[in-house]
Structure 1
Amino acid sequence: MHTTRRILQVVTNVDAYESDPKHATGLWLSELTHSYEVFEQAGFEQIIVSPRGGKSPLEPRSLKFPNLDASAKAWLNDPTRMALLEHTKNPDEVDAADVDAIFFTGGHAVMYDFPGSEGLQQLTRDIYEQGGVVAAVCHGYCGLLETTLSDGTPLVKDRSITGFSWREEVLAGVAKLVPYNVEQRMKDLGANYSKGLVPFASYTQVDGRLVTGQNPGSAKATAKKTLEVLHTLTTTSPNR
């Protein structure tokens, strides 16, 4: 087994809503920066990957008050960190055998390019079936919609998960822009979806090696829960 502790961070390549190309979207920056800091402080190497590789655009709304917090602002002001989002890896450039966990970030853009990415689906399946952790925050769980296990079973079937809720889509004013209701799609797949009582407040779910967070405010907690699961795996199976 590999000895380097490594986590894949998944980001989008999409920069606009298909229903209204004039309406920009992209990566919700703080979801990456909050989780990145948690994993970095824990000593993990991180690789940023996207469905097509190359540039990951930023969601404009994530760059405005109050969403642009100190963590996101520090990333924006760091040319080295920003360069990571200009040159993300393609899934084909990553070996799942070298990875401990995959973490799907969000932003409405991922609704378009995460589900159809066979490369991401293969990485997710391989990481999970080799005993790794699959995690997603906010719209990142769109990346799990079409992911199946080797026996054809949807990864999320009968699993407790969360992610950006339809109520939050409505409150965010984008319900008429988004291409589908991901909360409902998860339920249709047989997932046991739940959400927090207060919209936009931190809320997470852990079901074995599947970790999910509801919204941007859940990114740090989702990353910490991911580390807890990884720690449990390490202590029960030291050779991982």
Structure 2
Amino acid sequence: MSTIKKVLIVVTNSAEFEKVGYRTGLWLSELTHFWDVLEKAGLTMDIASPAGGYVPIDPESLLMPELIQMTGLKDAVNKRYEDRAFMDQLKNTQCVAEVDASQYEAIYLTGGHGVMFDFANNEALAGLIAEFYENNKIVAAVCHGPCGLLNVKLSSGDYLIKDKKLTGFSWKEEQLAKRDHAVPFSLQDELAQRGAHYEKALIPFTEKVVEDGLLITGQNPKSAHAVGQAVLSRLNS
């Protein structure tokens, strides 16, 4: 474990849906459940965002018991991180354009609907992800986080996700969450259009993790813990 460097976590700066104005941001459990796994294993993590600075938290990730019940997420993990030291890390995050990839062994893209507005078209983030991948480092994402993979191209000119098995928030889940009218695109469809082999769980909002070499993806908030376990296992292998 002593040879393992830090893990970079990327979160959104977007606080609202552009079309309808609903509040959004980071889905908190997709940070805390992943963080919990790696912290218990003794790893160090840093948090960055497309613009740097403040990170909004989706209020529904804190106040929507119906979705918590549907996904099976418990409040216990979030509760453990309701302290000033942890939450202050979301006040002034590093900008992805300033990240030194050589300091990290893995990158993890969190979700929340906010990422649909600032991950997909961020050239600095796309370049950073490509740098990780082409240097044989882990690229992981959960829920809407794979938005950040959509426009990542390798030095070959191919999309990183071309011919890769992966997952992400499904269109059915978008409909069940009643955000299908508010999102700018279907993540599921866009992943497939770039040549990815999209997979999903038979039952919406249940855990699903797909691994394809260095690429590790989770379908929904329920999958964040398992993505953390998969990343940890890969780092230890």
Partner of 2:11: 11
For structure 2, the residue ranges without an aligned partner over 5 or more in a row are 69-73
Counterparts of residues 47-196 of structure 1 (less than 5 Å):
47-66=46-65, 67=68, 69-75=75-81, 77-196=82-201
Contact 2:4 2:235 in 1 (8 A): no
Q: Alpha carbon RMSD of aligned pairs, Å?
A: 1.3
Residues 5, 43 of structure 1: 8 Å contact kept = no
Shift of 1:228: 1.4
Distance between the aligned counterparts of 1:157 and 1:230, measured in 2?
Answer: 24
Residue in structure 2 matched with residue 197 of structure 1 by the alignment: 202
User: Which consecutive segments of 4 or more residues in structure 1 shift more than 6 A?
Assistant: none
Amino acid at match of 2:96: P
1:74-105 superposed Cα distances (whole Å, 9 cap, x missing partner):
32x30111110011111132111111000000
Q: Is the CA contact (8 Å cut-off) linking 2:50 and 2:97 kept in structure 1?
A: no
The one-letter code sitting in structure 2 at the alignment partner of 1:211 is: I
Provide the rounded CA distance (Å) in 2 between the counterparts of 1:211 and 1:55: 27
Q: TM-score, normalized by length of structure 2?
A: 0.94
Are the aligned partners of 2:217 and 2:227 in contact in 1 as well (CA < 8 Å)?
Answer: yes
CA-to-partner distance for each residue in 1:34-89, whole Å, 9 max, x for gaps?
001111112211010000000110001100253371211332x3011111001111
Say if 1:8 and 1:103, in contact at 8 Å, map to a contact too. yes
Q: Is the 8 A contact 1:20 1:177 kept in 2?
A: yes
- Partner secondary structure for residue 108 of structure 2: strand
Structure 1 unaligned regions, length at least 5: 233-240
Q: Calculate percent identity across the aligned residue pairs.
A: 46
SS at match of 2:144: helix
Give the drift of 1:13: 0.1
Size of the alignment, in residue pairs? 229
> What letter matches 2:206 in structure 1?
A
